[in-house]
Structure 1
Amino acid sequence: MMKRTLLALSACIALPASAAWTLDSDTSSLHFLSTKNAQITEVHSFDELSGTLSDGGQLSVTVPLTSVNTSIELRDTRMQEMLFDTTNFANATFTADVPAELMKLKKGSSTTGSVTGELDLHGVKAPATFQVIVSKLANDKLTVSTTAPTVINASSFKLEGGIQALQDVAKLSSITLAVPVTFSVTFEE
């Protein structure tokens, strides 16, 4: 019995620790812009985010689409129902393998780079790349922020019908399909 216990203990010690980083939703934000009638641009956000980042760089971020915040409750409801169809597609998810050079930071250092992964939105998966700055604030805390907006095209995710429905119900002459996205997220170990 003692021999088995020692073997199990030595196996645990020999295996590297695989700590997971968890997205801190209280200090993280995701914003997007919409432009209507060719000249009126507004800033919107999602109030909820969750995610994990493994020590090996596997990233997964989930955005509950019912948390869309446009500062107008009726518009939020219309976007949930007419654009995102949250009954059938509750979340948007971004997954990626973060490059090693962005993962191996020492406390107090920062670096820039790009993270390319797959965005799953409205039942469609498409590639997306974000230019970011990563800062390791402490041994157990890092931040990742975009250095430039990433333009997500609504037509890549079959959202044109939803945008047209929003345009019709609000009696707008246009809503652009190109949507700039920025974020600033904090991960804690």
Structure 2
Amino acid sequence: MKLLSRTAVALTSAVLFSSASQFALADWVLDGQRSTVQFMSVKNASVAELHHFRSITGGISDTGAAQVALDLDSVETLVPIRNQRMRELLFETVRFPAAMLRAEVPESLSALPIGETRDTAIEVEVDLHGAKQSYIAEVLVTRLSDGGLQVVISEPLVVKAADFGLDGGIEILREVAGLQSISTAVPVSGQLVFLPEPD
């Protein structure tokens, strides 16, 4: 199931930001404590489990270019050995340490009045395990009372392991765990909160 998780992570987002300076000119900076990306794996056709990443960074530049990096080493399944297997056998984090999500944010969204919510669709590019795929994400964007911008994926994105060359890793995980099956299509959901960068 971890396998699925990783695939999902890729979505809703693979390269870590080389340094924090990449966000130096950003209008918005991701609040990692209030943001989460979750993915669900299904094993033996009926056992579903929800996983997430503990470390997420990102920002939105003054031109509206949004980037979010998921640290694949921070995958959390609540089972230590499963975390390790996903890192080493599925994500291969030594070679591919992160999943990157990129999108263009319309100015109309970042300029929403406080308390207002807008339902819209945004194209998201996911860079994971050396491959890239684009998805149309249905999101709810809300301007928070503290000035932050909350983006919630309202309809889970379905990420296919084969699109990122992760199907082989899932099969290895299945064998190692002694499972009958692990789903190769993973629904990904999440909530991202961006804060205005201080002047």
TM range, smaller chain: 0.7 to 0.9
Distance 1:76 1:19, change over 3 A: closer
Distance 1:86 1:139, change over 3 A: same
The count of residues paired between Structure 1 and Structure 2 equals 172
Which structure 2 segments of 5+ residues have no match? 1-24
Deviation at 1:19, TM superposition (A): 5.3
Moved over 6 A (4+): none
1:20 aligns with 2:27: yes
Deviation at 1:102, TM superposition (A): 2.5
Deviation digits for residues 63-106 of structure 1 (CA, Å, limit 9, x no counterpart):
00000000000000000000000000000001111234423311
Determine the C-alpha separation between the residues in 2 that align with 1:32 and 1:162. Answer: 17
Determine the C-alpha separation between the residues in 2 that align with 1:75 and 1:139. Answer: 38
Determine the C-alpha separation between the residues in 2 that align with 1:77 and 1:128. Answer: 28
Determine the C-alpha separation between the residues in 1 that align with 2:56 and 2:29. Answer: 11
Root-mean-square deviation over aligned CA pairs: 1.3
8 A contact 2:110–2:149 mirrored in 1: no
1:106 aligned counterpart, secondary structure:
coil
Determine the C-alpha separation between the residues in 2 that align with 1:19 and 1:61. Answer: 12
Higher relative contact order (CA 8 A, sep 6+): 2
1:67 aligns with 2:74: yes
Q: AA paired with 1:159?
A: L
- Aligned counterpart, 2:13: none
Deviation at 1:55, TM superposition (A): 3.6
8 A contact 1:55–1:103 mirrored in 2: no
Determine the C-alpha separation between the residues in 2 that align with 1:128 and 1:93. Answer: 13
1:98 to 74, 83, 105: 105
8 A contact 1:99–1:115 mirrored in 2: no
1:54 aligns with 2:61: yes
Determine the C-alpha separation between the residues in 1 that align with 2:163 and 2:54. Answer: 24
2:134 to 121, 127, 130: 127
8 A contact 2:122–2:136 mirrored in 1: yes
Determine the C-alpha separation between the residues in 2 that align with 1:19 and 1:39. Answer: 43
Deviation at 1:138, TM superposition (A): 3.8
2:83 to 76, 88, 96: 76
Determine the C-alpha separation between the residues in 1 that align with 2:38 and 2:146. Answer: 27
Determine the C-alpha separation between the residues in 1 that align with 2:153 and 2:33. Answer: 18
1:34 aligns with 2:34: no
Q: AA paired with 1:67?
A: S
Determine the C-alpha separation between the residues in 1 that align with 2:146 and 2:76. Answer: 33
Deviation at 1:54, TM superposition (A): 2.1
